[in-house]
Every structure is written in C-alpha cells, then in structure tokens.
Structure 1
Amino acid sequence: MQVMELRFECFADTTISAAEKAINHLLEALRANGQILGREFAVAFNDGEFKVRLLMPEKTSLSHKYHSPWVKQALVALTEAKLLAPREKYIGQDINSEVSYTEVPSWQIIYTSYVHMCSPLRSGDTLQPIPLYQIPATFNGDHKRVIRWQTEWQACDELQMAAGTKAEFSALNELTCHKSDLFRRGWDIRGRIEYLTQIPTYYYLYRVGGKSLEAELNRPCPRCGNTEWRVETPLLELFHFKCDDCRIVSNISWDHL
C-alpha cells in the first residue's frame, strides 16, 4: 500500500465547517470506491490549507479514470466550498501493509480479517489484495456495499478474537455459519463480482471449533454436502477445503491445526 498526502487550498473566503463537510464528503466517496483505505482520516488545518494523509492501494489510486459518480460529485462540491482540487504529495510505501495485485488472477477470493485494511477481494494465485476500483462497480456506481460487508465481518472477527463477552458466540455464528446474514450478503457480493469480472470468485468461510481433527478432515461442504472438497495441499497455505459448485473455501478448524 502507498501513503499519499492530499492538500486542499482555499481560492476564496470560506468557513472551516464548509471546508470540513466538503473534504469529508470526498474522503467518504473515495473510501466507498476502494480508492483510499481505512475508516478514520485526520484532516489538519495549517498555513491556510487543509492536509490529510491517506493509505491507498497504489500510487495511481486517485486517477480520474477510477472515479465513481459519487467521487466526481464530491469533487464538484469542493469548488462550491471554495476549495481547489486536492494536490497530491507522494510520501512512500507503507511497510506495514501488503502490495496490491496488478495482474488478472485465474481465480479470486472474498477474504478479510479484523487486522486488514486492504481490499477484501484477493487473488487466488497469491492472496494479494485486488483494488476494488480495478473491477466494475458492484452496486449503485461504486463498492460501498462491499466495504460495508467488510466492516461488519471485521467487527464480528474482533469480537470473537477478544472472547470477552457473550457477544462472541453470536459473532462467531455470523463468521462460520453458511445460513447467517453475514454469509448470505458476502456470498451474494461474491456472485456479483464473479458475474462482473467473469473470474471464478470464492467466499472464505471461517472455521473454528469442531469435535476432532479426524472429524474436521472429513467434514462435508456445509452448503451442498460435497464430501470431496478437501484439497491435498492447502491452497495458499491457508485453505484446506474448496467447493467449486458452491464457490466456498474454508480451513480446518484452527482448534485442530
């Protein structure tokens, strides 16, 4: 991932509140399209201009060709708030994050965790994140629904990892059950992405618990009952199961590895 600083200059008298609203509107639109990553953005005002440092998938993430209709409208709103279009200053590569995948994958996966800020769409060849703006808009002109699903998945993951309240069990059910609301929405998003990209797209079904390692090795696909979905060698050293009919990948329970 890359770190970029955006600077917003005023070209006429304006107010802090008007500038703040316009800048935050643009940042939210960029986030909904996968062009910037993260949830919170610190916007500073100094020496007559506003500055914000952002994490993005690539150096070219803010290219006009990737802009959604919402981003384009937000850029127009900057002018109405008496702000010039943002100037970009490249800071460097973030050493604590992953490098985006730039090729066309042979297959791809919807996969995330509470520690990841990158795109939840991953290459099935390398597990590297694929910038969402590199694929056609999934719903209503951008990828807001994908980002929203990712946020919900991460919230459930953090709850079950903390294991400090009864909410852990509800969260774990959302992550591991193929009948949960979280699975249903994510699996539908997976299908939409496969339709748009014409690339086989799979959903990662998290697995923990289970009676024994033997039971885990022989468990069928939870959606269709396929008993032949275990792979000989774990895919990407992570996925021990892959159902091509249901487009699901999963792991042997972490309790038995």
Structure 2
Amino acid sequence: MFVTELRFECFADTTIETVEKAINAFLEALRANGQILGREFAVAFNDGEFRVRLLLPEKTSLANRHSSPWVKVTLAGLTAAKLLAPREKFIGQDINSEASNTDTPSWQLLYTSYVHMCSPLRNGDNLLPIPLYQLPATFNGDHKRIIKWQTEWQACDELQMAAATKAEFAALDEITRTDSDLFRRGWDLRGRIEYLTNIPTYYYLYRVGGESLQAELSRPCPRCGAEDWKLDEPLLDMFHFRCEPCRIVSNLSWDHQ
C-alpha cells in the first residue's frame, strides 16, 4: 500500500466550516468506494492550503476511472466550496501494510480482523487484499455496505480479543455464529460479490473454543450440518474447513492449535 498527500487550495473567499464539510464529504466518498483506507483523516491548514495524508491500496487508487458517482458529486462539491481540484503528492510505500492483489483469483473470501486496515475481500490463492473499487459497485454505486460490515466485524473482534467485559461474549457470537446479524449481512454481501464477479466467494467464520481437539476435527458445518467439510490440508495454512454449498471457510479452533 502507498501513502499520498492531497492538497486543497482556495480560489475565492470561503469559510473554514464550508471547506471542512466539502473535504470531509470527499474523503468519506473515497473511503466508501475503497479508494482510501482507514477511518480518521487529519486535515491540516497551513500556508493557505489544506493538506491530508492518506493510505491507498495502489498508487493509482485516486485515478478518476475508479471514482464512484458519489466521489464525482463530492468532487464538484469542492468547487462549490471555492476549492481547486486536489493536487496529489506521492509520498511512498507504506512499510507496515500488505501489498494489494494484482492477480485474478480462482476464488476469494471476505476476511478481516481488528488489526487490518486493508480491503476485507481477499484473493483465496494468496490472501492478498483486493481493492474494492476494482469490483462493480455492490450497492448504491459504491461499496459502503462492505466497509460498514468490516467496521462492525473489527469492533466485535477487538472486544473479544480484549476479553475484559461481558460484551466479549456478545461480540464473539456475532463473528462465530451463523445465525448472527453480522453473519447474515456479511454472507449476503459475499453472495452479491460472487454474482457481480462470477468468482466463487466465501465467508470466513471465526472459530474459538470447543471441548477437545478430537471434537473440533469432527465438528460439522454450522450452517448446513455437512460432516465432510474438513480439509485434508489447510488452505493458506489457516483455513481447515470449507463448505462448498454454504460458501464458508473456517479455522481449527484457536484453542486447539
């Protein structure tokens, strides 16, 4: 992934409040389309310019060809706020993040965790993140629903990893059970992505707990009850189970690895 800086200059009299709303709307539209990563963006004002540093999946993530209808509307909103089109200054490669996928996957999956800022759609052949703007829009012209699902999944993951409050158990249910609201929304998104890309797309179901290693090895698919979903060899050294009809992959319980 890569770091870039956007600079916004005023071409006429305006107000800080007007500029703030226009820039933040533009950044939110880019985020909803997967063109920038992260949740919070510090916009600085100095020497007559507004500047913000952003993390991009690819060097070309901000190219106009990737822009959603919402991005184009908010870009016009910058002009209405008396701002010139943003100038981009490439900073360099981010050494603390993964490279984005460049190969066509034979299969893909929805997979994230609270430590990941990248796209939650991964190439099943190498687990590299696939920039969302490379897909056809999933709903309403962009990928906001996928980003929202990812944010909720990460929040639940952070709660259960902290293991400090009763909220841990409710959060764990959301990411481990097939009857949870989070699973239902994510699994539906998975189906939408598979339909749009015509690439088999799976949902990662987190697994922890279990009575014993033997019981874990013989557990059935939690959605359909199939008993033959245990793989002979784990995929990507991580996924020990895969149910083809349910489009679910899962790990051997972390308690028994």
Measured against the shorter chain, the TM-score band is over 0.9
Q: Deviations over 1:165-213 (max 9, x none)?
A: 0000000000100000000000000000000000000000000000000
- 1:103 and 2:113 are equivalent in the alignment: no
Q: Deviations over 1:114-173 (max 9, x none)?
A: 000000000000000000000000000000000000000000000000000000000000
Q: Which residue of 2 aligns with 1:145?
A: 145
Aligned AA (2:171): A
Alpha-carbon distance in 1 for matches of 2:248, 2:212: 22
**TM score, norm. by length of structure 2:** 0.99
Aligned AA (1:50): F
Q: Which residue of 1 aligns with 2:39?
A: 39
Q: Deviations over 1:53-97 (max 9, x none)?
A: 000100000011110010000000000000011000000010000
Q: Which residue of 2 aligns with 1:229?
A: 229
Aligned AA (2:93): Q
Q: Which residue of 2 aligns with 1:155?
A: 155
Alpha-carbon distance in 2 for matches of 1:110, 1:153: 11
Aligned AA (1:113): S
Q: Which residue of 2 aligns with 1:7?
A: 7
TM-fit CA distance, 1:104: 1.0
Q: Deviations over 1:7-43 (max 9, x none)?
A: 0011111111111110000000000000000000000
Q: Which residue of 2 aligns with 1:91?
A: 91
Number of residue equivalences = 257
Identity %: 77
Unaligned runs of 5+ in 1: none
Q: Which residue of 1 aligns with 2:123?
A: 123
Aligned AA (1:18): T
Alpha-carbon distance in 1 for matches of 2:247, 2:208: 20
Unaligned runs of 5+ in 2: none
Q: Which residue of 1 aligns with 2:73?
A: 73
Q: Which residue of 2 aligns with 1:216?
A: 216
- 1:59 and 2:54 are equivalent in the alignment: no
SS of the equivalent of 2:122 reads strand
Aligned AA (2:233): T
Q: Which residue of 2 aligns with 1:168?
A: 168
Alpha-carbon distance in 2 for matches of 1:184, 1:119: 19
Alpha-carbon distance in 2 for matches of 1:170, 1:213: 24
SS of the equivalent of 1:112 reads coil
Alpha-carbon distance in 1 for matches of 2:230, 2:7: 51
Q: Which residue of 2 aligns with 1:181?
A: 181
Alpha-carbon distance in 2 for matches of 1:237, 1:134: 27
- Runs of at least 4 residues off by over 6 Å: none
SS of the equivalent of 1:79 reads helix
SS of the equivalent of 1:203 reads strand
SS of the equivalent of 2:128 reads coil
Once superposed, what is the RMSD of the aligned Cα atoms? 0.4
**TM score, norm. by length of structure 1:** 0.99
Aligned AA (2:121): L
Alpha-carbon distance in 1 for matches of 2:151, 2:221: 26
